[in-house]
Amino acid sequence: MEGSSILENLQNECATPVDLLNSVANSMIAHMKAGLNVDGARDLKMLLSYVNSLPPKQETGLYYALDIGGTNCRVLRVKLDGKDIDIKKISREIPAELKTGTSKAFFGFIASGLWELVNWEFEEFGIPKDTKREIGFTFSFPVEQTSLNKGRLIEWTKEFNIPDAVGEDVVACLVEAMDEQELNMFSVTALINDTVGTLAGARYKDGDVKVAVILGTGTNACYIERTDAIPKLNSQGDQGHVTENTIINTEWGGFSEGLHLTEFDLGTDLGKQTFEKMISGKYLGVIVSRILLRMAESGEHYTPSFLSTRQLNEMQQDDSDDLEIVGSILKKTFEVETTLNMRKTAVKVVDTIVKRGARLAGAGIVGILEKMEQDSEGLIYGKRSVVAIDGSLYEQYPQYKLYLNEAVKEMLGPEKFENVVIEQFHDASGVGAALLADTSSNVAPDS
């Protein structure tokens, strides 16, 4: 790997000074307002969640959720006693072939995991298998909802491509798969985006949560919005939102205005999900790998391989004198022997891309906070305001977390930042979906 000039150019192109971050945040605000005004107006879809109520802190009972992300399918059993949360989780990785297969195969796989939970409850507690259960369905792809438990798939993201599911009601697809497997003991009562589930689950633990962000394989954000700040509600004659506030799913992964793409980003950007491809775990390793392969002498002789986000983290955490872990990862991935200088360069590349991604994610968070504050002065900065974050990238990558928090603090300044708390909530999306499956005792989401 030569590449000192490539590295220097990369660091310049990927720099994220506060002025640039503020510009990104301001563009985000403009796109949020446009999306609230008219569907499809700008980059952000600003989808209605039909969640007009959130579980109160004193909620007790037994709840169920089916949580579909970019990597795993999880079935959750959530038991609440008003204080603690007891979670039984069954997790399975979604096979690669199902991500580009048929709708029937995909939803059939999802539904099959429910039988494992039913059998476990019978064996563990003697609960009859035909006991009726309400379940919340977390689906982390863009869906246009028409009610709390109905929604049409707009498009696939995170490298999924199942054409015959696009335009279909994903709840109906799941129910059909459940019926085929005689899982009629389950009733899908809520269709929830993973960010909305995170907000609901985190809000159960902390009443000051106002924004939720997913930073994992993919990324997205949602927040509590005043219904009178959503002009398209009136234009659509929507009668499903009668409360003062509701939750908006931004689908911010599609944001692109003001984002400077390098030649290495263009290899992963096909004009869709630009923001997601710059900040989320699915793509950071791909971008780094493209850069390292370009730096490699006679790089065309190496079979293209891609580093995982976990490997990026391990490389940044390597504090040995000879960067032994870095060398091992590069050899395993690219089948190349490296000098110490090459390993140092590789770490700098990783740091450059990860830092850019984390700081841009921070800019997105500030954009949402600023929009909420502009609408209601004092709502965010005048009192404690919590941004709930869930997802493997933020949870498992300390340097990413550090860079994101630094960016938010730099942008807001000490006075505004004083009341803003960025907090990690593990498994919040699944817990929230389980809670929202039973809406009978929920309360309106106040700000």
Would you give per-residue pLDDT tens digits along the chain (447 residues)?
456 789 999 999 999 999 999 999 999 999 999 999 988 767 899 999 988 888 776 678 888 999 998 889 999 999 887 777 889 999 999 999 999 999 999 999 999 999 999 999 999 999 999 999 999 999 989 999 988 899 999 999 888 999 999 999 999 999 999 999 999 999 999 999 999 999 999 998 899 999 999 999 999 999 999 998 999 887 655 555 557 889 999 999 999 998 999 999 977 656 789 999 999 999 999 999 999 988 886 444 455 689 999 999 999 999 999 999 999 999 999 888 889 999 999 999 999 999 999 999 999 999 999 999 999 888 899 999 999 999 999 999 999 999 999 999 999 999 999 999 999 998 888 889 888 887 544 444 565
Asked if 280 contacts 215 with a C-beta cutoff of 8 angstroms, the reply is yes
* Catalytic residue annotation: 74, 140, 194
Beta-carbon count within 10 A of 90 CB: 14
Q: Tell me the C-alpha distance between 182 and 250, whole Å.
A: 36
Q: Tell me the C-alpha distance between 33 and 28, whole Å.
A: 9
The structure's pTM equals 0.91
